[in-house]
Amino acid sequence: MSFRRLFVLAATCLTFAAQAQDYPNRPVRIVVPFPAGGTTDIITRALAQKLSEEWKQPVVVDNRPGGGANIGAEHAVRSAPDGYTLLMASTAHSINATLYPKMTYDPLKDFTPLTLVAETAQVLVVHPSVPANTTRELIQYLKTTSAPVSYSSAGNGSQPHLSAEMFKTMSDTKMLHVPYKGGPQAMTDLVAGHVQVSLATAPSAVPFIKSGRIKALGVSSRQRIPALPEVPTINDSGLPGYEASGFFGLVGPANLPPAIAAKIHTAVVRIVKEPAMSKYLSEQGADAYTSSQAEYAAFLRDEVAKWGKVVKETGAKID
């Protein structure tokens, strides 16, 4: 390597180090590719408030719903890799890699993984008019009723969409998919009785379950969740082998300077591990879940492969 190239490399490293030391010196945006009020939004707003307090700079939540989370992701990936535009990626980020035949970005190559933030279960919920109080009773109802049954989701490629398609395949039942632009709209129409079923993320569903406006039949996780301790797992209540968990993590555009990425990672992990934050997430139906950058990168690769298999096996399509 020539002296000139060594000099340029050293100067670049010093520049990145200086940028990281000064970061952030202006507002930071975290893009949420779903509407306000949904699970991704709830988790992101809690994190953004704490980051604002730590960094002494505004951390703004930028809701950009639509396209099954692709619109928000496209905006983030086109942003400058300077740490001032980040994306809260949900499981939809991994699902879309195979669900959508044509995408303008690569969910793996075009982003810098920072850390996982939270894990959530889905809750199998039904409108009170549905004559089922357990997972087993719902499966029996779906197999015997002549009435059309529809389920809502937070959008094409969302965790509730693929979780419901997996439920249909494993239980050999039929339901019509009705996608919305986010969890709040999906829950609103379930509560109103316009759809009958949903496999909603726990933070979106818990308030409506506790108010008695919808019925909870089972949770999709391996174990019961603290927010709904009385609700059994779907695996234990009628569909053996069923398990589907959702994950949320922070990513930036590709080529984010390592020093800035490390600074963001350190701050987020410390905040998520705080007892108060862990307690808040648990009350919403989510669990704090952090990782190193390398662990999150490997996790995303595994998630893309896992959900790609589910898309293929269920025949899930964009509705």
Phi/psi zone of residue 85: left (φ > 0), alpha (ψ -120 to 50 degrees), beta? Answer: beta
Q: What is the pLDDT of residues 114-160, one digit of tens each?
A: 999 999 999 999 999 999 999 999 999 999 999 999 999 988 888 89
CB 122 within 8 Å of CB 163: yes
Domains within the chain, CATH numbers bracketed: 26-120+245-314 (3.40.190.150), 121-219 (3.40.190.10)
- Cis before residue 24, ω within 30 degrees of 0? yes
pLDDT at residue number 101: 83
**Residue 319 vs residues 94, 171, 214, 217: alpha-carbon distances, Å:** 18, 21, 25, 26
Helix spans in 59-177 (H): 70-77, 91-99, 135-144, 159-171
For residue 112, the cross-strand partners are 252
Structure tokens at 266: 């350190």
- What pLDDT score does 314 carry? 86
Q: Which residues of the chain have pLDDT under 70?
A: 1-19, 319
pLDDT one-digit tens code per residue, 187-230: 999 999 999 999 999 999 999 999 999 999 999 998 999 999 99
Phi first, then psi, for residue 16 (nearest 5°) are: -60, -40
- pTM equals 0.85
| pLDDT for the residue numbered 265 | 98
